[in-house]
């Protein structure tokens, strides 16, 4: 059993989600319904997209401390420019993806520490968000609101969308050739370079993908909340990192799991709902979420070490 968990990293995140879901249903049986599940995972889609964005950065051995501020900026752009002048909004969002790619190229070209550069960029994104939307407001485009509130027949939108995100990113990163090369940048960049692949372009591509999923996360968030705020997604930075690691990813070596990352995001989303059922103060909920994460990661470390000892 220990070797099974160690070899198949996806099993532990799945087990964590199942246990937490069972505990939630036990505490609140009414949640065991279409409406209840939809309520539990209401904000899962933007968190899952943000987690995938962070995974793209961690995949190449970097870490992004600006993601929460970036998603907040995207939310502000979506609730203003994309709503009022759609063409301008699309251009601004495209420019943000290009800016993210440029940030990755800059980090690689001058061998800058990503954690420092992204921390600095978080203030840039935050400043731009405040400039666009000094106070909470704006409105979600009608088509975006319609997409995020659609009601599929069997499962809630949040669950269906999360499955689609997991499947699409799995094929992109695990099954496709370019995904294998990108993971190679994190695993063995020297070998990738010797094979003739330009590391600068690959790093820029990884950051561009992160920017793209960050844009989708901000848009999805506005589609659910119907408005925006310059600080609406600041906590997504830590949530996205936690989701990637909870899903079986590692900070080095290009070891990531798109399906695991989405499951990690779902687990963190469910943890917030579970803690609210316990009537825990919001001030304590973040700490409790951290405790859940530590327990799962500790279990994974124990399984990994015992597997190595038994090998």
Tell me the whole-structure pTM to 2 decimals: 0.93
Query: Span 34-63, mean pLDDT?
Result: 95
Q: Residues 226, 144, 276, CA angle at the centre, nearest 5°?
A: 45
Q: Is 161 exposed, middle or buried (CB count within 10 Å of its CB: 0-12, 13-18, 19+)?
A: buried
Tokens of 302: 């124990």
Q: Check if the beta carbon of residue 262 is closer than 8 Å to that of residue 165.
A: yes
Query: How far lies 201's CA from each of 41, 96, 190, 210, 280, in Å?
Result: 36, 17, 15, 14, 47
Whether the pLDDT of residue 57 is over 50: the answer is: yes
Say what the pLDDT of residue 3 is. Answer: 46
Nearest-angstrom CA–CA distance, 153 and 160? 10
Q: Spell out the domains of the chain, with CATH numbers in brackets.
A: 9-305 (1.10.3470)
Q: Which of 19-33, 35-49, 134-148 has the lowest mean pLDDT?
A: 19-33
Nearest-angstrom CA–CA distance, 179 and 202? 10
Give the Cβ contact number of residue 196 at 10 Å.
6
The average confidence (pLDDT) of the chain is: 90
**pLDDT tens digits, one per residue of 160-192:** 999 999 999 999 999 999 999 999 999 999 999
Q: Which of 25-39, 178-192, 268-282 has the lowest mean pLDDT?
A: 268-282
The structure tokens 């690959």 sit at: 202
Helices (H), the chain: 2-7, 11-27, 34-40, 44-58, 67-79, 81-84, 86-109, 114-132, 142-148, 157-170, 177-187, 189-194, 199-225, 236-246, 258-277, 282-310
Query: Span 298-302, mean pLDDT?
Result: 71
Q: Check if the beta carbon of residue 168 is closer than 8 Å to that of residue 111.
A: no
Q: How confident is the model at residue 14 (pLDDT cuts 50, 70, 90)?
A: confident
Nearest-angstrom CA–CA distance, 132 and 52? 26
Query: Span 73-89, mean pLDDT?
Result: 98
Say what the pLDDT of residue 2 is. Answer: 43
Q: Which of 10-14, 87-91, 225-229, 265-269 has the lowest mean pLDDT?
A: 10-14
Say what the pLDDT of residue 6 is. Answer: 43
Query: Span 87-105, mean pLDDT?
Result: 98
Q: Check if the beta carbon of residue 213 is closer than 8 Å to that of residue 52.
A: yes
Query: What φ, ψ does residue 216 adopt, rounded to 5°?
Result: -65, -35
Query: Span 141-162, mean pLDDT?
Result: 95
Buried b (16+ CB within 10 A) or exposed e, 271-300: bbbbbeeeeeeeeebeebbeebbeebeeeb
Highest mean pLDDT among 2-16, 83-97, 260-274: 83-97
Whether the pLDDT of residue 90 is over 50: the answer is: yes
Q: How confident is the model at residue 97 (pLDDT cuts 50, 70, 90)?
A: very high
Nearest-angstrom CA–CA distance, 28 and 47? 23
Q: How confident is the model at residue 280 (pLDDT cuts 50, 70, 90)?
A: low
Query: Span 254-259, mean pLDDT?
Result: 92
Say what the pLDDT of residue 298 is. Answer: 76
């Amino acid at each position: 059993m220990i070797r099974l968990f160690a070899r198949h990293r996806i099993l532990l995140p799945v087990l964590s989600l199942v246990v937490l879901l069972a505990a939630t249903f036990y505490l609140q049986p009414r949640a065991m319904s279409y409406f209840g599940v939809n309520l539990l995972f209401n904000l899962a889609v933007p968190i899952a997209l943000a987690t995938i964005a962070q995974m793209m950065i961690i995949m190449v051995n970097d870490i992004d401390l600006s993601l929460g501020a970036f998603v907040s900026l995207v939310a502000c752009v979506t609730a203003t420019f994309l709503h009022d002048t759609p063409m301008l909004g699309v251009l601004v969002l495209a420019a943000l993806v290009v800016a993210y790619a440029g940030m990755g190229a800059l980090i690689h070209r001058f061998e800058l520490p990503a954690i420092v550069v992204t921390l600095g960029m978080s203030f840039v994104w935050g400043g731009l968000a405040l400039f666009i939307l000094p106070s909470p407001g704006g409105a979600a485009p009608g088509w975006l609101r319609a997409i995020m509130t659609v009601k599929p027949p069997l499962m809630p939108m949040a669950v269906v969308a999360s499955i689609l995100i997991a499947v699409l990113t799995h094929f992109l990163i695990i099954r496709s050739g370019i995904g294998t090369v990108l993971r190679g940048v994190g695993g063995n960049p020297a070998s990738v370079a010797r094979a003739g692949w330009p590391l600068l372009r690959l790093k820029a591509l990884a950051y561009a993908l992160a920017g793209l999923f960050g844009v989708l996360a901000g848009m999805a968030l506005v589609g659910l909340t119907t408005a925006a705020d310059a600080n609406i997604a600041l906590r997504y930075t830590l949530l996205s990192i936690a989701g990637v690691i909870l899903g079986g990813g590692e900070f080095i070596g290009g070891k990531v799991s798109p399906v695991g990352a989405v499951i990690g995001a779902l687990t963190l989303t469910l943890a917030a709902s579970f803690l609210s059922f316990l009537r825990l103060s919001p001030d304590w909920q973040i700490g409790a979420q951290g405790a859940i994460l530590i327990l799962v990661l500790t279990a994974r470390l124990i399984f990994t070490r015992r597997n190595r000892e038994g090998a």
